[in-house]
């Protein structure tokens, strides 16, 4: 939970039996904080028994508008799944969507989420702006026809509002298969001008790669069924990452999924300082082959964790993504850095994601009856199984 939730001017001391500090476990920790900033971190023997202290967990890729989809969509080929999603969303009123977002916020807070990166298409910003969660609301733009780029960009730019201490707007062309190069260029330049985060779905699907290379395959039929007139669009005959680099719309971006990458793609993401967000349980839902997460991390590309939507993931609890990441061979420490430090990087939160003096006082505290020696015991079970309560200290 984010410390200072009852007021940014709060002053306090937080102690824990075990804390995740500097990428490692430390026993007996006391953290002093004031006005939303950590003032000091020190070792104190016997402090805070019964509590585990983590940097605030970051859900770096979510679609809170789609919280209403929980349990409604079964695994299916992506074009069929997307069709069903659009049908379900079309049944909902603006009020329904707002309530879906608020329910998503409630579930996120209950799971210990301190920050969230939300892709928004239909909603306004009110719910997240008022929630107290650190958050980025990326306005998702769609428009494959080049001649309609100005219209699609104007709709997205109308979403840009003044930042607050905890909330920022962002811009997000949906994906290279659903947005023209003109739309990417326009929104990237506007994001730079407004100094807001820029994100996109990238290399999510095999069909995406095929569509960009040839203009054919299942995606052409899917876009037609969804009424997405391609107009004068022509396939760039490039892979997604090189295509966005060629457009000048890759540097410093946050790329959701990045499931299908070549070695050259990985090198390009590192060169352009892209942050990747992996959603392990959505990845498994669609049956993708092994994610290139280890190659990305070895190359120095920060990889964060996200839950995606309840249309493809069972919960909005980042601890479930940590558990899934460790099941795929990553250490708990690596997965926790992805869910904290790397997540903050993906959202552009420079002072979040770490427990250190000068950083934001954002914490996730796990309480309950804990084993006597956590460092030699079932740490993973305690942290991510979801059977220990997440408690707010302030």
As a whole number, mean pLDDT of residues 107-125 equals 91
Average pLDDT over residues 330-356: 95
User: What is the pLDDT, as a whole number, of residue 6?
Assistant: 30
Share of the chain above pLDDT 70, in %: 90
Structure tokens at 200: 């996109």
Positive or negative: CA dihedral 336, 338, 343, 349: positive
Rounded CA-CA distance 49/357 in Å is: 22
pLDDT tens digits for range 206-220 = 999 999 998 888 877
**Res 146 pLDDT > 70:** yes
**Average pLDDT estimate for 120-134:** 88
28: left (phi over 0), alpha (psi -120 to 50) or beta: left
Q: Quick: pLDDT tens for 347-372.
A: 999 889 999 999 999 999 887 555 55
């Amino acid at each position: 939970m984010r410390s200072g939730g009852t007021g940014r001017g709060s002053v306090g001391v937080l102690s824990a039996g075990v804390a995740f500090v500097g990428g490692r476990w430390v026993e007996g920790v006391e953290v002093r904080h004031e006005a939303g900033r950590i003032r000091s971190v020190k070792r104190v023997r016997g402090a805070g028994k019964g509590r585990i202290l983590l940097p605030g967990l970051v859900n770096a890729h979510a679609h809170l508008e789609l919280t209403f989809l929980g349990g409604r969509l079964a695994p299916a080929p992506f074009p069929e799944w997307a069709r069903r999603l659009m049908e379900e969303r079309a049944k909902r009123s603006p009020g329904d969507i707002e309530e879906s977002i608020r329910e998503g916020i409630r579930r996120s807070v209950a799971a210990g989420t301190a920050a969230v990166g939300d892709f928004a298409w239909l909603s306004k910003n009110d719910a997240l702006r008022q929630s107290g969660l650190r958050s980025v609301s990326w306005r998702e733009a769609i428009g494959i026809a080049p001649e309609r780029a100005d219209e699609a960009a104007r709709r997205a730019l109308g979403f840009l509002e003044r930042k607050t201490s905890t909330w920022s707007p962002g811009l997000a062309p949906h994906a290279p298969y659903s947005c023209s190069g003109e739309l990417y260029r326009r929104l990237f330049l506007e994001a730079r001008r407004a100094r807001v985060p820029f994100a996109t779905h990238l290399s999510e699907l095999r069909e995406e790669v095929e569509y960009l290379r040839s203009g054919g395959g299942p995606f052409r039929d899917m876009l037609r069924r969804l009424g997405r007139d391609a107009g004068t669009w022509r396939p760039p005959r490039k892979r997604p990452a090189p295509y966005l680099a060629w457009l000048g719309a890759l540097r410093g971006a946050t790329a959701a999924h990045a499931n299908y990458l070549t070695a050259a793609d990985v090198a390009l993401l590192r060169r352009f300082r892209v942050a990747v967000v992996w959603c392990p349980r959505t990845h498994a839902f669609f049956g993708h082959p092994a994610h290139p997460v280890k190659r990305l991390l070895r190359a120095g590309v920060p990889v964060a964790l996200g839950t995606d939507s309840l249309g493809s993931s069972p919960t909005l609890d980042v601890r479930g993504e940590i558990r899934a990441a460790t099941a795929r061979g990553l250490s708990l420490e690596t997965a926790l850095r992805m869910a904290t430090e790397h997540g903050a990087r993906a959202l552009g939160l420079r002072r979040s994601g770490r427990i250190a003096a000068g950083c934001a006082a954002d914490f996730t505290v796990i309480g309950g009856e804990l084993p006597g020696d956590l460092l030699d015991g079932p740490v993973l079970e305690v942290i991510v199984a979801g059977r220990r309560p997440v408690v707010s200290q302030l």
